[in-house]
């Protein structure tokens, strides 16, 4: 597809950068996005080792293109975050994407965009929205760089920042604002993982609420959650067939809007149709 940022992002899972031997298991989990973790899941005294282990492993790791491999670095306003950025930029690895935690302003994104541009890297950015300060300028953040391909909702940190319990109702405003910002920027948006491994029905219900709100996918904390998440965020065969019809009609016409089955369809609808087709390609 023309836009390389459009792809299947129904689920994601973290794997610790300190333990590269666990990378293959995460890659085989069925998640659309595998995120190598250098931030919250790594103790301070292990961060340098985790960074070195990750870079060494990535130099040898071979991936199918249908898996989106991302590295979550440390907060870009900290020493370890700056060391992470410098190490990956200097490593020679063509990293698909970097995940940025605890973002507070669009200036942080622009600085990293400039750094990647100077290094002549095509690395995309996945940005976590998990602070109240980010929520206040979320539209500026979402539109701050063409490298941004997805926003992620960090519900645990957001709840702590807002001094509220981490429940769906309490965080509905924050979730809605993130979905709106992602739609404005034409990028994907993924919901926070469901933390109760013993309540699979609760996870499925929350995933369905997230999908209905406009989220593209949701995180997992264990491989056993992934199939349910993928099922929830996979469009039906009827939806996929309809998406294929709309994309084909637009490609044939070259126009900005069409009447299909008696309904006026404008070009902005194309991105969502292309996303559904990317999921179809992934499951096939």
Q: What is the pLDDT of residues 8-26, one digit of tens each?
A: 999 999 999 999 999 999 9
Packed helices 155-162 and 172-185: angle between N→C axes, nearest 10 degrees? 120
Give the count of beta carbons closer than 10 Å to the beta carbon of residue 110: 12
Lowest-pLDDT choice from 44-53, 66-75, 181-190, 243-252: 243-252
Residue 4 has pLDDT above 80, yes or no: no
* Letter string b/e over residues 14-31, b meaning 16 or more CB atoms within 10 A of that residue's CB: bbbbbbbeebeebbebbb
Mean pLDDT, rounded, for 114-137? 95
Domains of the chain listed by start with CATH number: 11-234 (3.20.20.60), 238-283 (no CATH)
What is the H or E stretch that residue 242 is in?
helix 237-253
Mean pLDDT of the 261-275 span: 82
pLDDT at 200 (0 to 100): 97
pLDDT at 170 over 60: yes
- Residue 3 pLDDT level (bands cut at 50, 70, 90): low
The lowest-confidence range among 197-211, 232-246, 248-262 is 248-262
Residue 152 CB coordination number (10 Å):
30
How far, in Å, CA of 225 to CA of 14, rounded?
A: 13
User: What's the number of CA atoms in the CB half-sphere (13 Å) around residue 208?
Assistant: 7
Please tell me the predicted confidence (pLDDT) of residue 51.
97
- Mean pLDDT, residues 46-62: 94
Per-residue pLDDT tens over the stretch 22-53: 999 999 999 999 999 999 999 999 999 999 99
pLDDT of 124 strictly over 80: yes
The model's pTM is 0.90
């Amino acid at each position: 597809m023309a836009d390389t940022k459009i792809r299947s992002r129904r689920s994601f899972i973290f794997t610790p950068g300190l333990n590269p031997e666990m990378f293959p298991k995460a890659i085989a989990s069925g998640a659309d996005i595998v995120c190598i973790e250098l931030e919250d899941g790594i103790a301070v005294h292990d961060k340098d080792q985790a960074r070195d282990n990750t870079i060494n492993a990535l130099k040898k790791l071979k991936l199918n293109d249908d898996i989106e491999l991302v590295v979550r670095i440390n907060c870009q306003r900290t020493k370890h975050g700056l060391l992470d950025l410098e190490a990956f930029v200097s490593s020679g690895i063509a990293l698909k994407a970097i995940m940025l935690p605890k973002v507070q302003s669009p200036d942080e994104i622009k600085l990293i965009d400039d750094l990647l541009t100077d290094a002549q890297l095509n690395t995309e950015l996945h940005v976590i929205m998990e602070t109240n300060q980010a929520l206040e300028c979320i539209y500026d953040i979402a539109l701050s760089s063409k490298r941004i391909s997805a926003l992620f909702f960090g519900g645990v940190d957001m709840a702590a920042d807002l001094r509220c319990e981490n429940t769906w109702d309490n965080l509905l405003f924050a979730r809605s604002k993130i979905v709106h910002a992602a739609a404005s920027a034409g990028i994907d948006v993924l919901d926070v993982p469901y933390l109760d491994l013993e309540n699979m029905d609760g996870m499925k219900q929350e995933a369905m609420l997230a999908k209905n709100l406009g989220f593209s996918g949701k995180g997992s904390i264990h491989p056993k959650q992934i199939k349910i998440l993928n099922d929830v965020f996979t469009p039906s065969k009827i939806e996929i067939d309809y998406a294929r019809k709309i994309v084909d009609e637009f490609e044939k016409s070259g126009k900005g809007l069409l009447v299909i089955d008696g309904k006026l369809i404008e070009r902005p609808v194309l991105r969502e149709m292309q996303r559904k087709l990317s999921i179809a390609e992934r499951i096939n």
